[in-house]
Amino acid sequence: MKDILDLDRYPLDREASPEWKHLVDQSVAALEADGMFNLEGFLRPGVAERAVKEVRPVMDTRSHIHKRMHNIYFKPDIPELAPDHPALRKVETVSHTVCADQIPGSTVLAIYEYEPLLRFLAAAMGKQQLHVMLDPLARTNVMGYRAGEALNWHFDRSEFTTTLLLQAAERGGDLEYRTDLRSDDNPNYDGVAKLLEGRDPEAKILRMKAGTLNVFRGKNTAHRVTTVEGERERMIAVFSYYEKPGVMFSAEERLGFYGRAA
């Protein structure tokens, strides 16, 4: 793994050493302050390109095209809101998904399963332990966004999301986010409406470099990936970790996300 990850800069393999603890402390502080942390240069030079090369043939020929209109909640309705409430305004998402079962033996999956990464993420998130997902399709997805494509405004269903950017778009394809737009006690529907109408001055844009690991708390922080422009596809690996071992999607969930159950 030392040829894949920059373990000199990010000493995941030296658990409980002072350097390791320092990295955990920094990550915890960034999560506290910004709701995210970024490990830029997590991949050694050339590794992102190699990972893209491995995924490219599948992405080009067998990825699942996901295209749909949705609201920021990914829900058909919100009982306390009238159907025409501006917080329920629909937005369009278009992307290409490669599932874990399509890239066996890949660099991306080796990183996903790297035990010291799981232990570091657990420490940064304040969890006893994290586990990889058992679901053969969902455990890791590589998402592709081509010119005109975007992941639109949403709140995540999971507490946090771990991504690894493999290839950045020429322009666009940036993570735009509005920190703590809602809280567990306050849905702030008017604030949501304002954001969707493009009238929230607190929305920020993060331009990531290929090879960056991003850990993001997106449950109450609204976010989107802006529309990609230019010839280069944005490619990003999305890693799913859970506190419980053995997590699987239902067949319906797999059908909904990937167009196939197995």
Ligand X SMILES: O=C(O)CCC(=O)C(=O)O
The DSSP-derived string for 150-204 is BEEEE--SSS-EEEEEEE--SB---EEEETTSS-SS---HHHHHHHHTT--TT-E
Burial group, residue 188, by CB count within 10 angstroms (0-12, 13-18, 19+)? middle
Residue pointed to by tokens 């059908």: 255
- Distance of closest approach, residue 102 Cβ to ligand X, in angstroms: 18
Q: Residue 176 interacts with Fe ion (CB under 5 A)?
A: no
Contact 140, 162 (CB under 8 A): no
Contact 224, 156 (CB under 8 A): no
Crossing angle between the packed helical segments 115-125 and 18-34, to the nearest 10 degrees = 50
- Distance of closest approach, residue 253 Cβ to ligand X, in angstroms: 15
Would you say 20 or 237 has its CB closer to ligand X? Answer: 237
**Considering CB distances under 5 to 8 angstroms, the limit depending on partner class, which of ligand X, Fe ion, none binds residue 210?**
none
Residue pointed to by tokens 């309705």: 77
**Considering CB distances under 5 to 8 angstroms, the limit depending on partner class, which of Fe ion, ligand X, none binds residue 163?**
ligand X
Q: Residue 218 interacts with Fe ion (CB under 5 A)?
A: yes
Residue pointed to by tokens 């893209």: 52
* Rounded to 5°, angle at Cα 106 from 31 and 95: 65
Would you say 72 or 118 has its CB closer to ligand X? Answer: 72
**Considering CB distances under 5 to 8 angstroms, the limit depending on partner class, which of ligand X, Fe ion, none binds residue 238?**
ligand X
Amino acid letter, 94:
V
Stretch that binds Fe ion, among 56-64, 148-156, 234-242, 250-258 (CB under 5 A): 148-156
Stretch that binds Fe ion, among 77-85, 154-162, 185-193, 196-204 (CB under 5 A): 154-162
Would you say 5 or 208 has its CB closer to ligand X? Answer: 208
Which residues bind to ligand X, rule: CB under 6 A?
143, 151, 156, 161, 163, 175, 218, 223, 225, 236, 238
Q: Residue 35 interacts with Fe ion (CB under 5 A)?
A: no
**Element spanning 251, H or E:** helix 251-258
- Distance of closest approach, residue 11 Cβ to ligand X, in angstroms: 25
- Distance of closest approach, residue 173 Cβ to ligand X, in angstroms: 8
- Distance of closest approach, residue 97 Cβ to ligand X, in angstroms: 10
- Binding residues for Fe ion, rule: CB under 5 A, are 156, 218
